Structure 1
Amino acid sequence: MEKLKNLEGLFTEEVEALGYELYHMEYVHEDGMNILRFYIDHEKGIALEDCEKVSRRMSDILDEKDPIAEDYNLEVSSPGIFRTLFTKAHMEKALGEKVMVRTKKPVSGAKKFVGILKEVTDQGLIILKDKEELEVSFENLRSVNIEVDL
């Protein structure tokens, strides 16, 4: 949504002014509802109070700027331990981590696999899976999530 993209800089500034990182923002339609979702992060983690603080500030901005004509719900949450890596910067920050990769077309016979994120190149990712290096182009990438053993 173009109006939201135009406000992304303002949202980022306001979230940072509160002491957090705006990890990701999305406007989606789920279960019959429109949802404007902000994922926030902090080196010490995110608690419910953090989400409430950011939600109040984002709500004030959204009321003032009124960028969305239709009804929607505002959600603020942590990206979580199984966080999706949306940007190249997210991926570079996760180098050496175990990741779950989902692709559009099979890579080495699979569309879904777990491995270590070894490298981020201009063209895509290099994943170390069972001592084999798999190259996944950004065009073939469906999603990448941190994989944590619980």
Structure 2
Amino acid sequence: MSKVKEIVRGLAEPIAEEMGLELVDIEYVKEGKNWFLRIYIDKEDGVDIEECSIVSEKLSQKLDEADPIPHHYYLEVSSPGAERPLKKERDYERAVGKNVWIKTYEPIGGGRIFEGRLTGFSDRILTVEIRENGKTKTVQIPYDKIASGRLAVIF
């Protein structure tokens, strides 16, 4: 994790926790000529614009004090959305019963990308039910083989 993201996490987590929110992710990226610091927050029943605004105001004050970013940037605080990233084991535990998209570091059963219903997460193994050629099949994915994962909206 970059030094900036590490400092921002230290500033943002207490604010989120104080408000009963979860700090889901932090992005610090350059897009074109502009830098963006994006903070993603969530809670069980979702977050609203007011909560994002309050976190933004409180975090902005802390960032002004700590001054970890030497140049101009845009601060954005928002919900991670319907296809929120799954970063921690706890995220996968909470996603059981939901649709997920998983990419692995190496092939499992001939594939590296899996989209389907997460039916279980036990002993650091994900069980994903996927539809392939009109049939349902179950894939076991070791947690340590996951390159990235997110909730998925499947049509």
TM-score range (shorter-chain normalised) is: 0.7 to 0.9
* 1:119–1:102 CA distance, 2 compared to 1 (3 A): same
1:95-138 alpha-carbon deviations (Å, 9 max, x no partner): 12111122343333333221222333555533222443323334
Q: Which residue of 1 aligns with 2:141?
A: 136
Percent identical pairs in the alignment equals 35
Aligned to 2:152: 147
CA change 1:31–1:112 in 2 (3 A) is farther
In structure 2, relative to structure 1, the CA distance for the partners of 1:84 and 1:3 (3 Å cut) is closer
Inter-CA distance 27–122: structure 2 relative to 1 (3 Å threshold): farther
Gaps of 5+ in 2: none
Contact 2:96 2:120 in 1 (8 A): yes
Match of 1:40 in 2: 41
2:93 aligns with 92
RMSD (Å), alpha carbons: 2.4
Matched residue, 1:8: 9
> Could you say what secondary structure the match of 1:127 adopts?
strand
- Do the aligned residues in 2 keep the contact of 1:34 with 1:71 (CA within 8 Å)? yes
1:44 positional shift: 3.2
Q: Cα gap change, 1:33/1:88 in structure 2, threshold over 3 Å: closer, same or farther? A: farther
CA contact (8 A) 1:4 1:67 kept: no
For this pair of structures, how many residues does the alignment match?
A: 150
Amino acid at match of 1:62: L
TM-score (norm 1): 0.81
Counterpart secondary structure, 2:24: strand
Aligned partner letter, 1:17: E
Q: How does 1:39-118 map to 2 (within 5 A)?
A: 39-118=40-119
- Structure 1 residues without counterparts, runs of 5 or longer: none
